[in-house]
Amino acid sequence: MKPPISEERVPLPIIEQHIQQGRENLARFRRSPFHDQLRDANRDSYTKLFEEYPEEALAECEHYFKKAKKPPAKPNTLSNSQSYEGCWELGTQANPQRVDCFGVEDYLYRFVALVLSATLPYDGEVVRHRCHNRKCIRPDHLQLGSQQQNKADDNERRYVGRVSLTGRAKRGN
Ligand SMILES: [Zn+2]
């Protein structure tokens, strides 16, 4: 039996491009002059990962990219005209996939964004989904940003939901 379209996987050359970019970024990773002042448990765990286990971290990303599913493209309605095509999905909206890798425990989308850009998290920083899809782990749909930006994203999403022509938008949460 043919697998349903929703089971479509991410092409391997695309995955390899992202992993290679991450490899180059990790190779260039250096502690900033403010490193010691900004230290906390979360940053320390990512620092250790970048410095001591970069290939293992990349392998973890690659593993999950290969598992991710590409949902079929939606019709181009007003409600998703601002969304991104071709999400790579794992987990659910309520419970996005988590990861546990050499001392780093985090949401996978956050892990992917930080590892592939070789960026340490700082207090109050969150990883935003430009596609508004919390299941998505596609690197170019993820963006580092502040809590405030994330709230703006939520407001935008609610607004988009209200003007949806599909009539299926949820309200109030
Ligand atoms: Zn996405």
Structure tokens at 135: 């299941």
Measured in angstroms, how far is the CA atom of residue 39 from the centroid of ligand 1? 30
Measured in angstroms, how far is the CA atom of residue 80 from the centroid of ligand 1? 12
Rounded CA-CA distance 53/41 in Å is 17
Rounded CA-CA distance 173/171 in Å is 6
Measured in angstroms, how far is the CA atom of residue 33 from the centroid of ligand 1? 34
Q: At 159, is the pLDDT very low, low, confident or very high (cuts 50, 70, 90)?
A: low
Q: At 101, is the pLDDT very low, low, confident or very high (cuts 50, 70, 90)?
A: very high
Measured in angstroms, how far is the CA atom of residue 86 from the centroid of ligand 1? 6
Measured in angstroms, how far is the CA atom of residue 133 from the centroid of ligand 1? 6
| pLDDT single digits (tens) 66-89 | 999 998 766 655 554 455 679 999
Asked if 85 and 69 count as a contact pair (C-beta separation under 8 A), the reply is no
Q: At 117, is the pLDDT very low, low, confident or very high (cuts 50, 70, 90)?
A: very high
Asked if 91 and 36 count as a contact pair (C-beta separation under 8 A), the reply is no
Measured in angstroms, how far is the CA atom of residue 130 from the centroid of ligand 1? 7
For residue 125, give the DSSP letter: E
Measured in angstroms, how far is the CA atom of residue 97 from the centroid of ligand 1? 14
Residue 167: predicted pLDDT: 44
pTM of the model: 0.78
Q: Looking at this protein, which amino acid is placed at residue 21? A: Q
Domain boundaries, the chain: 5-162
Measured in angstroms, how far is the CA atom of residue 110 from the centroid of ligand 1? 13
Measured in angstroms, how far is the CA atom of residue 37 from the centroid of ligand 1? 34
| pLDDT single digits (tens) 6-31 | 468 999 999 999 999 999 999 999 99
Length of the chain: 173
Asked if 6 and 72 count as a contact pair (C-beta separation under 8 A), the reply is yes
Measured in angstroms, how far is the CA atom of residue 83 from the centroid of ligand 1? 8
E strands, 113-171, in order: 125-129, 142-146
Asked if 138 and 116 count as a contact pair (C-beta separation under 8 A), the reply is no
